[in-house]
Structure 1
């Protein structure tokens, strides 16, 4: 049984893909304390190879990256043995084995992974190229099996059998060589954004289209006149700008393309965790035969902070009356904060209703909880003693978000206090960019003395 990628990544636009291993195997489940699972990873999980052009010599090789991983960090897993069977590629493709693979006949090899990690890694890199005479549309398969030694009871882990489908095609195959990520950048400084594109296909790319999705903490310099900018997002502040660039360059098989002028990015005073999503496509509406290599995400991290704060409120009312109590979040800056890659909220606000009051209307972003923070299972959102309010996935510097609660006073309790607490969106790890914890708590007070 084969499993495709289940990673959740919010994309800024089409054809922008982050590089990484795709896990294949049995359906993933959280590891139990006394269990473990061995996984086979392959990138790409479907391989398209350019056909050998008549009189063009040997076809270019494409890298097929394989690796092993396991679930449970409580156990050490060693001596990984990944068996690769290429008998399904007869007449379709040829494979060059790396040094860590020992051939065991003409169509199989056993590849060694001495230490199996708990995260996907790719220490086995096969070079695969189309066989002479293989026609467009021809298909084949590479199959995998794996075993490893574990300190868990039983002493051995066995992965489910998996595979990579291989297809022969003709056309351009653009492969992006992206810039390396940059960290510890001082806000206001400029960093280079250098990348190139190679054509690994068997036909020229008649024109190149380059798309860049750039977060608002970066200002690009050196853009060609062929590039147009489109801000993306609702409201007056746009979190992302898309740059669409079309070039007439013809990139022959084996050739490369670079921008006509050096590109750089200046970090704004409010920059923090910025990113550039890069995507390239052949021009003229021609499809890339292997689009997995057409995109990348480049991180540019600034040395900056954002002071998140919460504010409570006071209200006075008689029994039976309903009052609107605003719970307020404010990013005091200087940086903006965005989780545009994951789509996760930047933080959460935990609100406890004061004694003697009932929440009769709550904001849509606030989910009811029990008094101890557990799931509220009454079937209605009102009347809970506590609420967890999720902030948006990005907040600008100096931005305020208000959560208005309508509270009915059932019993007048002088100085009844409810709590307002700033929390990370998930778990209990403190927000790493917020150095000031003193304003992460506030109070809701009804009928103060």
Structure 2
């Protein structure tokens, strides 16, 4: 049942699912050393591969009590990442949508209550398995199942209010052939057959010798799939080489010089949404006229089996040195904001020019177009003309060190230093 919407570190995607951003099952007090406290485990969950976006599958979960004491009430919680959702949710389950925050991946959780006794040595299963749907953006997702007893699981205070299911309630029934499982929590991968198109956009610059021009180039994931990159994988980088005859006055944010090329981070964390966009803004001084001078923007060369379109992995950055008055650089594409296009006029305190720009105070350099039903891809425009897209890199001209999913970084701007600090939010017990 779709719910309207409201990154890595630690131990990667599994930690993001398991940390406080998801549901943590609360355990009832154990008996004082008598060995009779119920010990619940789940089983029956295996990795699922080869789904088609839009298809559904059932979760054949088993619940067992490995102790000698009876569990009077049981909770089973299911958690899925943003490419999956729940369908036909029973009324004894509540679904909560939790957007991405801090180090947490966006996810949906279904918390199902079974107000019945679970006897020792007996394996149970829901009389009707919970059904999961692969969304259009599905590609590489995660599924987690937890089991607990006694009081209800905690809700994430950063999520939307939970919504009760509308399908008939289900109960646990004895499973004749099922295994009892071995843990109270199981994590598996769920993959779908889909693609994601990583692409770059170049720029057309124009000016005379001595001018400082603004260069805006862009990286984007055009979907349709989002990409959850695996822990330890080398993530995509954007390689930007300015045209010959220019010098960099101010480099783009998340970019670091490597010879004549700038290596730029494409996003922060493991979460590359299907509408992710990053605009890199450079200030270039035209030092001399070189006939046919041309730079480039290109994606790094690590394998991307989901990206079948290699034609848009590289684009030109051209420079036309004129003999006339001072002109400014063109991004090669228009941008838009709430106040409409100004058509080529200069706006914003950062002095960026060229293309159609708009917004109350500066150029956004690009718009974000989220796909229907997607979250984490919305954009917001600040007073300085920067745009942040769904937890990915912000559009800004600040000079900084690159930021990757493996570490935070200090952002140095002028004479001030802004230290970005990741922290987890406090959570209320329910």
Same fold (TM over 0.5): yes
Q: Which runs of 4+ in 1 moved over 4 A?
A: 6-9, 343-346
Larger radius of gyration: 1
Which of 230, 252, 277 does residue 400 from structure 1 map onto? 277
1:165-314 alignment, distance < 5 Å:
171-234=37-100, 239-284=106-151, 293-314=183-204
For the pair 1:391 / 2:274, whether they are aligned, the reply is no
**Residue 285 (structure 1) shift:** 7.3
Aligned match of 2:238? 349
For the pair 1:445 / 2:321, whether they are aligned, the reply is no
CA pair 219-414 structure 1, distance change in 2 beyond 3 A? same
CA pair 327-16 structure 1, distance change in 2 beyond 3 A? closer
CA pair 390-230 structure 1, distance change in 2 beyond 3 A? same
1:330-368 CA-to-partner distances (Å, cap 9, x unmatched) read: 2233322223x63968522122233333334444433x1
Runs of 5+ unmatched residues, structure 2: 1-9, 23-29, 154-180, 323-430
CA pair 389-321 structure 1, distance change in 2 beyond 3 A? farther
Instruction: Give the number of aligned pairs.
Output: 274
3-state SS of paired residue (1:205): coil
1:346-401 CA-to-partner distances (Å, cap 9, x unmatched) read: 522122233333334444433x1422xxxxxxxxxxxx742232324333335433
Instruction: Judge conservation of contact 1:271–1:335 (CA < 8 Å) in 2.
Output: yes
1:18-417 alignment, distance < 5 Å:
136=33, 171-234=37-100, 239-284=106-151, 293-339=183-229, 342=231, 347-366=236-255, 368-371=256-259, 385-392=261-268, 393-417=270-294
Instruction: Judge conservation of contact 1:273–1:338 (CA < 8 Å) in 2.
Output: yes
Per chain length, whose mean CA-contact separation is higher, i.e. which structure has more relative contact order (CA < 8 Å, sep 6+)? 2
Query: For the aligned residues, what is the CA RMSD?
Result: 3.5
Aligned match of 1:422? 299
TM-score by length of 2: 0.55
Cα distance in 1 for partners of 2:210, 2:247 equals 10
Cα distance in 2 for partners of 1:194, 1:448 equals 66
Cα distance in 2 for partners of 1:277, 1:202 equals 27
Cα distance in 2 for partners of 1:358, 1:431 equals 32
3-state SS of paired residue (2:73): strand
Would you tell me which structure has more strand in proportion to its own residues?
1
Cα distance in 1 for partners of 2:248, 2:65 equals 61
Aligned match of 1:378? none
